[in-house]
Structure 1
Amino acid sequence: MIIVTGATGLLGRQIVERLLARIPAQRVGVSVRDPRKAQELADRGVRVRQGGFEDAASLAHAFEGATQVLVVSVDKMGEECVTQHRTAIGAAVAAGARRVLYTSQMGAGPDSHFQACRDHAATEELLRACGVPFTALRNGFYAASAAHFLGQARSGRVALPADGPVAWTAHADLADATAAILADEGRFEGPTPPLTGSQALTFEELAAIAGEVTGRAWSRTTVPDQRFREELVGHGVPEQLAGQLLGIFVAARAGEFATVDPTLATLLGREPTPVGAVLRESLG
C-alpha cells in the first residue's frame, strides 16, 4: 500500500487524485490530521487514517502495511519542522516501508539563504541515515507563492526586495510527477534532479505577465531588505518568520532557484504549465 501524508493539503490532495488515476484505490492510503476532511476519498475506497507528525503512535497506525510512504513536508520552518519530519521518517521505517519519499525543494542545502531549504537538506540527511531506500523530490519553487506575492499588490504595484530568476512550478505538475514516481517504484534513488517549470523568471518579468493575463497595468519596484522586513512585522508577521520570508529573495538573487531542468517535462510527457496560466487562475 502507498501511503500519502498531508492528503487534504494543496499538494497532497492533488497527488492522491493523480495516483488514483494510475492504481486501484485499495492500494492507496492517506494519513491526515482530520479524517473528516478526507471522507470523499474514503467513499472512493482509499484507506483514511488519522496521523500527525508530532504523534509517532498515530503514525504507526496510519502507516500500517505500507510499501511506500510519501512524507509531504510540513508548512513550518526551523527545528520544529525537522523534528516532525524525523518522526514521520522513523514511523515509515518502523512500519516496514521499503521506500520513503519526501517532498524536498530545489536549492536544498545546508548553506542556503532560505531557512526552508536548510530544513529540506537536514531532512534529506535523515533519509540517508534511515536504513531504507529513499527518494527526495527536489520540487521547483511553487508558482502559487509568486501568485501570492503578486496578489498582495492590489494596486498593481509590486514592491518587493531585489530578487533573481526562479523556476516557478505549478502544484498540479508536481502532483502528476509525484504520482508517476510513486507508481514506478525505484525510478529515482536519492534526490531527484530539480523538478522545475520551463522558465526561470524574475518578479519584473512576472509583473509583465500579470499585466498580460489581467489586462491592467503592473509595475515592479525594489524595496530595501530591511524595509521589507519591517513592513511585514508591522503587519503582524512574527519577526523570525519575516526574516525567513526575506530569505526567499536573498536566495533567489544568489541563484539558488534559477536552474531549469527537463526532468519534470519528461515525467509529464509534455511541457510544464506556463507560470502565466497559474497567474491567470489566481489573479483573474
Structure 2
Amino acid sequence: MIIITGASGQLGRLVVNQLLERVPADQIGLSVRDTSKVNDLRERGVRVRQGNYNDAESLAHAFEVAAQVLIVSSNSLGDAALKHHRTAIEAAKKAGVHRIHYTSQMGASPMSYFPPMVDHAATEDVLQASGVAFTSLRNGFYAGSALMMLGDALQSGILAAPEDGPVAWTAHSDLAEAAAIAISEGGLEGITPVLTASETFDLAGIAAMASELTGRLIRRVVVPDDEYRAGLLAHGLPEERADMFACLFKASRNGEFARTDGALARLLGREPVQMREFLKANLIGNIK
C-alpha cells in the first residue's frame, strides 16, 4: 500500500489525484489530521486514517501495511519541523516500508538564508541515517507563491517587496505529477536533482508579465528588508513567520532559487508549466 501524508493539503491532494490515475484506489491510503476533509477520496475507495506528526501512535496506525510512504513536509519551522519529520520517518521505518518519499525543496542546505531550506537539509540527514531506501524530491519554488507576492498589486498597481533574485517558479500540478510517477514507477533514488520549470524570473519579470496579461500596469518597487518585515508584523503575522518571509528575499538575492534542471521535464515526459501559462490561468478571470 502507498500512504500519502498531508493529503488534505494542496500538494498532497494533487498527488493522490495523480496516483488514482495510475494505481487502484484500494492500494492508496491517506494519513490526515482531519479525516472529514477527504471524505470525497474515501468515497472513491481510498483508505483514510487519522495521522498526526505529533502523535507517533496515530502514524503507526495510518502507516499499517505500507510499502511506500510520502511524507509531505510540515508547515512548522525549526526544531518543531524536524521533530515532525523524524517522528514520521521513524514510524515509517517501524511499519516496515520499502521506501520513504519526502517533499524537500530545491535549495535545501544547512547554510541557506531561508529557514525551511535548513529544515529540509536536516530532514535529509535523518533520512540518510534511517537505513530505509528514500527519495527526497527537491521541489522547485512554488509558482503559487508569486500570486501571494503579487497580493493586491492588480488593484494598487504596485508590487512592493525587498530586492530579490531569479526564481525557477514551478507549478504544484507538475510537482504532484512528478511525485506520483516517482511513487508508482520508481527510478528516483536518494536526493533528486532540482525539480523545476525551465525558466527563471525575478519579481520585476513577474510584474511585467502580469501587466501584459491583465492590461494593468504594475510597478515593481523595492523596499528595505526591515520595512517589509515591519509591515508583516503590523498586519499581525507572527515574528517567526515575518522573519521567514524577510529571509526569503535574502535567499533569493543569493541565488538559492535560481537553479534549473531538465530532471522534471524528463520525469514528466513534457515541458513543465511555464510561468506565463501559470499566471495567465490564475490571473485572467480573477480580475475585479
TM above 0.5, one fold?
Answer: yes
Q: Residues 165-176 of structure 1: matches in 2 within 5 Å? A: 165-176=166-177
8 A Cα contact 1:165 1:202, kept in partner: yes
Aligned counterparts of 1:169 and 1:152: Cα–Cα separation in 2: 22
TM-superposition CA deviations, 1:68-96 (whole Å, max 9, x none)? 00000011211111111110111011111
8 A Cα contact 1:107 1:257, kept in partner: yes
List 4+ stretches of structure 1 deviating above 6 A: none
Structure 2 residue runs of 5 or longer lacking an equivalent are none
Q: Does 1:163 align with 2:164?
A: yes
Normalized against structure 1, the TM-score is what?
A: 0.98
TM-superposition CA deviations, 1:163-214 (whole Å, max 9, x none)? 00000000000011110000113x1111100000111110000001111221
Question: Secondary structure of the residue that 2:130 maps to in structure 1?
Answer: coil
Between stretches 97-106 and 234-243, larger displacement belongs to 234-243
Show the counterpart of 1:240: 240
Aligned counterparts of 1:274 and 1:155: Cα–Cα separation in 2: 26
8 A Cα contact 1:147 1:278, kept in partner: no
The structure-2 alpha-carbon separation of the partners of 1:151 and 1:277, relative to structure 1 and needing over 3 Å to count, comes to: farther
Show the counterpart of 1:80: 80
Q: Does 1:180 align with 2:181?
A: yes
Aligned counterparts of 2:156 and 2:277: Cα–Cα separation in 1: 21
The Cα of 1:280 is off from its aligned counterpart by 2.6
Show the counterpart of 1:110: 110
Show the counterpart of 2:219: 219
The Cα of 1:37 is off from its aligned counterpart by 1.1
Task: Tell me the percent identity.
Answer: 54
Aligned residues: 283
The Cα of 1:279 is off from its aligned counterpart by 2.0
Q: Residues 250-269 of structure 1: matches in 2 within 5 Å? A: 250-269=250-269
Between stretches 233-242 and 98-107, larger displacement belongs to 233-242
Q: Does 1:16 align with 2:16?
A: yes
Question: Secondary structure of the residue that 2:217 maps to in structure 1?
Answer: coil
The Cα of 1:269 is off from its aligned counterpart by 1.1
Aligned counterparts of 1:63 and 1:43: Cα–Cα separation in 2: 20
The Cα of 1:278 is off from its aligned counterpart by 2.3
Q: Specify the code of the residue in structure 2 equivalent to 1:172.
A: S
Q: Residues 29-178 of structure 1: matches in 2 within 5 Å? A: 29-153=29-153, 154-178=155-179
Aligned counterparts of 1:198 and 1:219: Cα–Cα separation in 2: 25
Normalized against structure 2, the TM-score is what?
A: 0.96
Aligned counterparts of 1:234 and 1:281: Cα–Cα separation in 2: 32
8 A Cα contact 1:68 1:100, kept in partner: yes
Question: Secondary structure of the residue that 2:270 maps to in structure 1?
Answer: coil
Over the aligned positions, Cα root-mean-square deviation in angstroms equals 0.9
Aligned counterparts of 2:274 and 2:214: Cα–Cα separation in 1: 15
Question: Secondary structure of the residue that 1:73 maps to in structure 2?
Answer: coil
Aligned counterparts of 1:239 and 1:28: Cα–Cα separation in 2: 38
The Cα of 1:276 is off from its aligned counterpart by 2.1
Structure 1 residue runs of 5 or longer lacking an equivalent are none
The Cα of 1:270 is off from its aligned counterpart by 1.0
